[in-house]
Amino acid sequence: MFKKILLTIWHGILIAGAAFIMSSAWHWVQMMHKPRMWILGKILPVAGELFVIFALIYIIALLLTYKKNLALFQSIQSRLPQALFVFSFIFLSVFGKTEWQCLLGFLFFSSFVVYYFWTLFHSPIIFRAWLYFVFFFCIVGLIHYFTHYYYILDLNFKFTKAIPLLRAVSVSLFWLSAVVSLFYFGKKKCKFKTAVLILLALFWFLYIFSSSINVGVLRGGGLSFSPTALQHIEGAGNIIFTFFNTLVLIFVIMLAGLFVYLLKEFPIKFSATSTKIIVGLWLVVIILWVVTIKVVGLPGLQVANTFYQHYWGERQEVVLSQQILDKLKNQFGLTYNPDEFYVNKRERIFTDPANLLPKRFLEQRPNILIIFLEAFSSKFSDVYNSTWQGKLTPALNDFSNDPHTTTFKKYYNSSTPTITGLLSLMCSFLPPTGHEEIANNNRFTRFYLSCLPDILDKEGGYNDISYISAVNKSYAHKDSLFESAGVKKSYGTEELKPIIKENTKAWGFSDHQMFGVLPGMLQSFKSPFLVMLSTIDTHQPYDMAKDAMSFGDGKSNVLNAVYTTDDAFGKFWQWFKTSEFATNTILITVSDHAAFPTAYLQVPQYAEQEKRGEITYYDENVFMMYVPDGKLPKIIDKPSSELDVVPTLLHLLDINVPNTFDGRSIFNDREEYPNLLGMHELGLYINQIDASGKRQELYQLPANLAQTCDLTEVSSAHELTLCEYYQFYVWKRQMLEQGRLWMK
């Protein structure tokens, strides 16, 4: 009797412990900081409620055991306290704040599951199946951990670190069920056993291969593998096939071989209860998959759906409502008239001349030199950010401090990556698609966007209009795109070889190499000229330049790359200030787009901010303009974007022509529209002031919005919603394909 009392007390302690652990884990994850003593006031009441519920179940089972002597209730009564206590550790997995807490909870829980099934069935299938599960879980767990770590839109980690764990368990159990089923039906002398075995191994190889590719793409850009990513791979082989990615590929091949070896050397033996186990296993898999897909999603299925929708999905025609057109016009300054064939034609750029240039530029147009800084967010410039104490970009600091230089703050990119970022910059165009459709002249034979090179050629009397790139000029169709925009000469790796006369030191030529020959190239152009140069060293993965310099301790490749580009520009800037061009050339330094979110994982000061999903593909960028003897203010602190650069520059030059611009001149009516938009397949971005006067930022993938948005939905709210913006994105893409965004 005394032993039974002690056993009951012990069971009570286990039940109370289980209730306390569950309640603690639940409240722990909801705390923004480490819990204080007062949190006990929230933990204990919930723990008490759970204890009462569990104790009632235990007492009912206890009474039924003594009165009915039922074996089932006896089993429940004897095992329930231990089961609840061990099961409570799964809450450390589901609600843990760190990966280690999640993994610890999972190990306790999974060990209990194995022990429970062993004591229940005493079947030899258990331990062999566990071996396979561990094999699958180790591999799948790594894949889902890195997928979750790099995917910028996987915001579930704000709630728990167990997201990749839950996904890994679901997928691992699926593969385990497939293997167990294969052996089970194989013992029945199935004629197609060998074929099925080969097919299963092939599917496993394809799964880990495609998943590894997805991780590689995520590591580079923060978004999953997609048709858009495929379009950007062409011409970027030495970025895609890095040493790291090559090692991953070799590892994948080894895993495929190991899987085949396991299937051959470690067959699973079955007992009389095996059928029940297999059926139960598949039921668990189905339930777990439903829960996983509904609650946190499976990245692999999302990737597959993206490809399906891109190549085979039905496309719905959109008629843009007047309410959305009014929001775009009144709040963002975008004017579209669907009643006209050319829906975005404007008659002029500005109302009154800016009168900000010296009089000599009225007689002789100034040269224009634009430096497109690769992925140069303002966070990486001392001009905008005091984090680096003036040591990260001293050359840009000096450029900004020059009395002839104006610094534009609150300036954002309108698109990304480089090709569509430059399209936004040169043509004031909000691109509703990727570079493939836009640059493919076989599809769009009428390419009549209003672009800076073409306007300066026809209306400004500019002679040499050139674009200089460190990489192959045909990469991402830049040559055909820029030619259509009015560029007369494009320089790529091959065209620069006779000028630089060195081997390439980066992905193409490094920034030091290009800025080193830029003075000589400028002297060869006939004035007035427009010359545009894109830097390269700050392109991901940030470690390609052989002549890179170290910033600080040199541990961050991102900061090293920024410091290197700044140094290369600094050497050119020192020459420029004392050259003949200092008095007759407008020099602009501007980012082609914001840094990709994954870049911040290499910068300790911003890593946590990136992990919380607070950084997207759209951000404040660097934009500075040197105008010799100009009358511009030293700092312009008003919201603007890439769309506004060309209208602003043409306003400065007093060139007022009909156009198809989406942007506004910063010197004219830009501040009447303080809201900004960003558009590309890599994300739709809204930066707007809400009804309460607070600025809000919204961001989402078009592919994700396609699954959730009704293309006829219109909100009565003052703000533009993401679903309304997605409708505009789809509609504008239709206009692009119909040739209605061009201008005769």
Q: Which two tokens stand for residue 703?
A: 């592919």
Q: What is the pLDDT of residue 141?
A: 78
Beta-carbon contacts of residue 315 (< 8 Å; ≥ 6 apart):
none
Q: How would you classify the pairing of strands 623-626 and 405-412?
A: antiparallel
* Full DSSP string of 123-186: -THHHHHHHHHHHHHHHHHHHHHHHHHH-TT-GGGGT-TTHHHHHHHHHHHHHHHHHHHHHHHH
Q: Do the domain assignments include residue 130?
A: no
Residue 188 has pLDDT above 80, yes or no: no
Is 648:349 a contact under the CB 8 Å cutoff? no
pLDDT at 146 over 60: yes
Beta bridge partners of 64: none
442 pLDDT tier (thresholds 50, 70, 90): very low
pLDDT at 435: 46
Residue 251: HSE in the Cβ half-sphere, 13 Å Cα cutoff: 14
Say yes or no to pLDDT of 380 above 60.
yes
Is the model's pLDDT at 591 over the cut of 60?
yes
**Which pLDDT score is estimated for 356?**
95
Cα 429 versus chain centre, distance: 22
The CB-side HSE value for 443 (13 A sphere, CA atoms) comes to 10
Using DSSP's 3-state secondary structure scheme, residue 283 falls into helix
Q: What is the pLDDT of residues 105-137, one digit of tens each?
A: 666 666 666 665 565 555 566 667 777 777 788
Predicted confidence at residue 158, as pLDDT, reads: 44
8 A C-beta contact, residue 462 and residue 365: yes
pLDDT tens string 263-296: 677 776 666 556 666 666 676 677 667 666 665 6
What DSSP string describes 33-91? SS--GGGHHHHHHHHHHHHHHHHHHHHHHHHHHHHH--HHHHHHHHHHHHHHHHHHTHH
Q: Is 273 exposed, middle or buried (0-12, 13-18, 19+ CB in 10 A)?
A: middle
Length of the chain: 744
- Checking if the pLDDT of 742 tops 50, the result is yes
Contacts 24+ apart (CB under 8 A), 741-744: 741/342, 741/343, 741/344, 741/429, 741/449, 741/660, 742/342, 742/446, 742/447, 742/448, 742/449, 742/660, 743/342, 743/345, 743/448, 743/449, 743/450, 743/658, 743/659, 743/660, 744/342, 744/448
Measure Cα distances from 508 to 471, 473, 497, 539, 545 in Å.
5, 10, 10, 11, 9
3-state secondary structure of 224: coil
Q: How open is the CA angle 62-66-69, to the nearest 5 degrees?
A: 110
Whether residue 137 is contained in a domain is answered as no
Helix (H) or strand (E) holding 637: strand 635-641
Residue 31 has pLDDT above 60, yes or no: no
Residue 341 has pLDDT above 90, yes or no: no
**Model confidence over 422-439: pLDDT tens digits?**
989 999 999 887 544 544
Number of Cβ atoms within 10 Å of the Cβ of 742:
19
| Pair 629, 358: CB distance under 8 Å | yes
Question: Rounded to an integer, what is the distance from CA 622 to the centroid of its chain?
Answer: 20
Instruction: Tell me whether residue 101 is in a domain.
Output: yes
Contact 716, 321 (CB under 8 A): no
pLDDT single digits (tens) 511-532: 999 999 999 999 999 999 999 9
- Could you tell me if 419 and 374 are in contact, meaning their C-beta atoms sit under 8 angstroms apart? no
CA dist 646 and 234 (Å) reads 29
Is it the case that residue 576 has pLDDT exceeding 50? yes
Instruction: Point out the least confidently predicted range of 162-166, 336-340, 633-637.
Output: 162-166
Is the per-residue pLDDT at 597 higher than 90? no
Number of domains in the chain: 2
Residue finishing a domain among 101, 116, 131: 116
Q: Which residues contact 257 (CB under 8 A, 6 or more apart)?
A: none
Domain final position from 602, 626, 661: 661
Q: What is the pLDDT of residue 657?
A: 94
Q: Regarding beta strands 683-689 and 530-534, do their DSSP bridges make them parallel or antiparallel, or are they unpaired?
A: unpaired
| Closest residue by Cα to residue 528 from 290, 365, 351 | 365
What is the band of 318 on the pLDDT scale with cuts at 50, 70, 90? confident
DSSP class of residue 506 equals B
Q: Is residue 509 part of a domain?
A: yes
Domain containing 604 equals 369-661
Q: How far apart are CA 511 and CA 184, in angstroms?
A: 62
**First CA to last CA across the chain, in angstroms?**
98
Asked if the structure places residue 289 within a domain, the reply is: no
226-235, 382-391, 650-659, 733-742: segment of lowest average pLDDT: 226-235
As separate numbers, helices (DSSP H) first and strands (DSSP E) second, the chain gives: 27, 11
Measured CA to CA, the distance from residue 355 to residue 697 in angstroms comes to 35
Please state whether beta strands 623-626 and 585-591 pair in parallel, antiparallel, or not at all (unpaired).
Answer: antiparallel
Q: How far, in Å, CA of 457 to CA of 466, rounded? A: 11
Computed over every residue of the chain, the mean pLDDT equals: 81
Distance between CA 672 and CA 126 in Å, rounded? Answer: 69
625: pLDDT confidence band, cut at 50, 70 and 90? very high
Is residue 63 a contact partner of residue 73, using CB atoms and an 8 Å limit? no
The per-residue pLDDT for 1 is 63
Tell me what pLDDT residue 242 has. 58
* pLDDT at 640 (0 to 100): 97
Buried/exposed 239-265: b ≥16 CB within 10 Å, e otherwise: bbebeebeebeeebeebbeebbeebee
Average pLDDT over residues 26-55: 66
Cβ-based neighbour number of residue 295 at 10 Å:
11
Q: What is the C-alpha to C-alpha distance for residues 471 and 485, in angstroms, rounded to an integer?
A: 19
CA distance 298 to 308: 16
* CA nearest to 665, candidates 640, 628, 685, 687: 640
Query: How many whole angstroms separate alpha carbon 432 and alpha carbon 726?
Result: 10
Give per-residue pLDDT as tens, 226-252.
Answer: 665 655 555 455 545 556 666 766 776
- Residue 362 has a pLDDT of 82
3-state secondary structure 577-607: HCCHHHCCEEEEEEECCCCCHHHHHHCHHHH
Percent of the chain with pLDDT over 90: 40
* Other C-beta atoms lying within 10 Å of the C-beta of residue 279: 10
587 lies in a domain?
Answer: yes
Give the model's pLDDT for residue 73. 46
Query: How many CA atoms lie less than 13 Å away from 215 in the CB half-sphere?
Result: 24
Average pLDDT over residues 140-162: 66
C-alpha distance from residue 232 to each of 153, 246, 690 (Å): 20, 19, 35
Separation of CA 33 from chain center: 27
Domain C-terminal end among 605, 627, 661:
661
pLDDT of residue 269: 67
The verdict on residue 138 lying in a domain is: no
Burial of 434 (0-12, 13-18, 19+ CB in 10 A): buried
What values do phi and psi take at 273, rounded to 5?
A: -95, 5
* Residue 440 confidence (pLDDT) above 80: no
> Two tokens at 173?
């159990």
Q: Alpha-carbon distance 622 to 372, whole Å?
A: 10
CATH of the domain at 651: 3.40.720.10
- Which residues, 6+ apart, have CB-to-CB distance to 369 below 8 Å? 522, 531, 532, 533, 581, 585, 586, 587, 588
pLDDT of amino acid 77: 53
Handedness of CA 258, 304, 154, 23 (dihedral sign): negative
Q: What whole-number distance in Å separates Cα of residue 472 and Cα of residue 521?
A: 18
438-448: b (≥16 Cβ within 10 Å) or e = bbeeeebeebe
Nearest partner of 495 among 523, 514, 515, judged by Cα: 514
Give percent of the chain above pLDDT 70.
Answer: 73
Mean pLDDT of 642-668: 95
Residue 279: inside a domain: no
